[in-house]
Homo-oligomer: A and B are copies of this chain.
């Protein structure tokens, strides 16, 4: 029943032309006369011909795909970045294929190997560990790499990342602008890099504001539950010791703190306590009081990553660029009271 696959040769025979002509129809339609083109096209349709990409690539020496390796496809940051990268690649005639390393160096290595064997045009990688050597090898063999959400300290490749210090500054500055002075920062016990950057930014903002004080609290980890525990401790304090603004290192922590504040002590958010998170996850809009947060320009990062990669593909000797984006404040009810009724 199912015979051997249809090749360009079969199409040529059917249409009564040479193989080169079929190839031209596929790749340089303008070179072919209208009549021939439509005859070839019919043959293609009738036979159900599908171009063999392996053969094309072998001869052409180049593929039309870009590999994207992310730490966790389930993470909204990466999925939205992937979406944007796909769009941008499509506009440039390329296709993004996605590999999920799941933070596992072994899987990451597998995808690097597979993509290199497939001779992808280039890769976007949000690396698990240090990829220094691997990146040099790849580049040496002609496959450029762009780092995502991480900068290469030795500037061997381009990268897109976010300035978390600026984000932390932005968040606390916003609290200060709203008149808050007794600020609490909630981070995590373990030293996530993002946490320390955000704290640094927070410190800067407080330092610039006379009369403002910053207290740092550590949660067990970066989860809602951990945030709730910290929130409960804070909520039980005497009125004099209560902060009037809390900045959490991510939204999950902030949601936990909010739960505690509303339920344990019936504090009003934002009147008694202004609250701000980080990452702007979907859920931030759905909390009882919608959560103000700090957002990375995810789509822009995805597009830029692809653009930087295309730059390197076109000219491997073009200078590497480290693009650092500034995050953006998303104001919601947890810091900004709606227009309150008179009184």
Picked from B55, B72, B86, B259, the residue with its CB within 8 Å of the CB of A58 is: B55
Please name all residues of chain B whose beta carbon is closer than 8 Å to the beta carbon of A72 when the two chains form the complex.
Answer: 79
Please name all residues of chain B whose beta carbon is closer than 8 Å to the beta carbon of A83 when the two chains form the complex.
Answer: 73-74, 100, 102
Query: Could you tell me if B97 and A98 are in contact, using CB atoms closer than 8 angstroms?
Result: yes
Report the bound CA distance from A52 to B65 in whole Å: 15
Count of chain A residues with a beta carbon within 8 Å of a chain B beta carbon:
56
Picked from B76, B110, B119, the residue with its CB within 8 Å of the CB of A90 is: B110
CB distance from A281 to the nearest CB of B (A): 10
Which residue of the partner chain B has the closest CB to A316?
Answer: B2
Picked from B52, B99, B119, the residue with its CB within 8 Å of the CB of A53 is: B119
CB distance from A124 to the nearest CB of B (A): 14
Which residue of the partner chain B has the closest CB to A259?
Answer: B288
In this assembly, does A256 line the interface, its C-beta being within 8 Å of a C-beta of chain B? yes
> Which residues 42-101 of A sit at the B interface, judged by CB distance below 8 A?
48, 50-55, 57-58, 63, 65, 72-74, 76, 79-80, 82-83, 86, 90, 95, 97-100
Please name all residues of chain B whose beta carbon is closer than 8 Å to the beta carbon of A119 when the two chains form the complex.
Answer: 52-54
In this assembly, does A131 line the interface, its C-beta being within 8 Å of a C-beta of chain B? no
Please provide the 8 A-B residue pairs with the shortest distance between their CB atoms, ordered closest to farther.
A224-B286, A74-B79, A98-B98, A53-B117, A54-B57, A97-B97, A54-B58, A54-B54
